[in-house]
């Protein structure tokens, strides 16, 4: 009888660990990062180059399926996600930020804001991203804030976003990005400007 209970305990413990790790890796547990995962880290912008390839494991496929990322092959697009500002603090609706960068090593690029559920925030501001077409060919910047800032050329609305993240998409990336992203890519910086009370 003792052996039966030992086996039962082992099965239950293994099941709990297996289920817990699967939920964590799929980003389904509270506090688990949604899309900011992977072994590629370029100044806080994280990616998993297995996304969209045959090399993607079951955890990666589950996370991509759960959070709705359109995962193209690496030769067509690579995705980087950032959840913190340059000081390492989580990105929050209560704060405003300066997002700035320059030309990207890709045919086209975009930076889009997503809420904690990996969805576009439920606002009607029509200002949830910046891309190569709007930013132009050289240096650019955009203000991320809940309200439209006066005098800003580009604005990304964080209204109703809560704690959010940013996704940088590089379409038709240069081969150097795939070969060595840490030297080929100079990703945007995220400077925190002000912080108020949480809405």
> What is the CATH classification number for the domain harbouring 44?
2.60.120.600
Whether 104 has a pLDDT exceeding 60, the answer reads yes
Q: CA end-to-end span of the chain, whole Å?
A: 57
Q: Is residue 188 situated within a structural domain?
A: yes
For residues 40 and 6, the model is more confident at: 40
In this structure, the strands spanning 129-131 and 106-114 are antiparallel
Q: Is residue 131 situated within a structural domain?
A: yes
Query: Please, what is the average pLDDT of the chain?
Result: 82
Whether 143 has a pLDDT exceeding 90, the answer reads yes
Please report the DSSP string for the chain in residue order.
-HHHHHHHHHHHHHHHHHHHHHHHHTT-STT--SS--SSEEETTEEE-TTTTSTT--HHHHHHHHHHT-----TTTEEEEEE-B-TTSPBPBTTEEEEEEE---SEEEEEEEEE-TTSS--S---S--EEEHHHH-SS-EEEEEESSPPTT-S-EEE-TT-SB-EEEEEEEEE-HHHHH-HHHH--PPEEEEEEE----
Q: Is residue 24 situated within a structural domain?
A: no
What local confidence, expressed as pLDDT, does residue 9 receive? 73
Q: Is residue 160 situated within a structural domain?
A: yes
Dihedral of CA atoms 48, 54, 58, 62 in degrees, nearest 10, equals 70
For residues 174 and 28, the model is more confident at: 174
Q: Is residue 139 situated within a structural domain?
A: yes
Q: How many domains does the chain have?
A: 1
What local confidence, expressed as pLDDT, does residue 199 receive? 46
What local confidence, expressed as pLDDT, does residue 118 receive? 86
Contact 145, 157 (CB under 8 A): yes
Q: Is residue 76 situated within a structural domain?
A: yes
Q: Is residue 149 situated within a structural domain?
A: yes
Cα-only R_g, the chain: 19
For residues 15 and 140, the model is more confident at: 140
Condensed to tens digits (0 to 9), the pLDDT of residues 144-191 reads 999 999 988 899 999 999 999 999 999 999 999 999 999 999 999 999
Q: Which domain holds residue 115?
A: 34-56+71-194
For residues 34 and 145, the model is more confident at: 145
Whether 100 has a pLDDT exceeding 70, the answer reads yes
CA distance 119 to 10: 39
For residues 35 and 130, the model is more confident at: 130
**Sorting pLDDT into bands at 50, 70 and 90, what band is 117?**
confident
User: In sequence order, what are the residues at sequence separation of 6 or more whose Cβ sits closer than 8 angstroms to the Cβ of residue 118?
Assistant: 27, 34, 35, 67, 68, 69, 165
What local confidence, expressed as pLDDT, does residue 62 receive? 53
Nearest to 118 by CA among 163, 76, 52: 163
Whether 142 has a pLDDT exceeding 70, the answer reads yes
Condensed to tens digits (0 to 9), the pLDDT of residues 42-87 reads 999 999 866 555 555 555 555 555 555 556 777 789 999 999 999 9
Q: Is residue 166 situated within a structural domain?
A: yes
Whether 32 has a pLDDT exceeding 50, the answer reads no
């Amino acid at each position: 009888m003792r052996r039966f209970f030992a086996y039962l305990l082992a099965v239950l413990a293994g099941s709990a660990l297996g289920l817990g790790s699967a939920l964590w890796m799929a980003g389904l547990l509270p506090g688990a990062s949604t899309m900011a995962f992977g072994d590629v880290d370029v100044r806080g912008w994280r990616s998993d180059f297995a996304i969209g390839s045959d090399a993607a494991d079951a955890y990666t496929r589950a996370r991509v399926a759960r959070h709705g990322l359109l995962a193209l092959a690496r030769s067509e697009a690579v995705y980087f996600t950032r959840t913190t500002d340059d000081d390492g603090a989580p990105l929050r609706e209560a704060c405003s930020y300066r997002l700035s960068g320059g030309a990207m090593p890709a045919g086209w690029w975009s930076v889009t804001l997503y809420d904690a559920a990996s969805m576009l925030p439920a606002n009607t501001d029509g200002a949830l991203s910046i891309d190569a077409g709007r930013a132009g060919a050289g240096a650019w910047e955009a203000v991320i804030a809940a309200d439209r800032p006066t005098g800003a050329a580009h604005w990304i609305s964080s209204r109703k976003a809560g704690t959010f993240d940013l996704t940088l998409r590089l379409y038709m990336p240069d081969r150097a990005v795939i070969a060595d992203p840490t030297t080929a890519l100079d990703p945007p910086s995220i400077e925190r400007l002000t912080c108020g009370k949480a809405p």
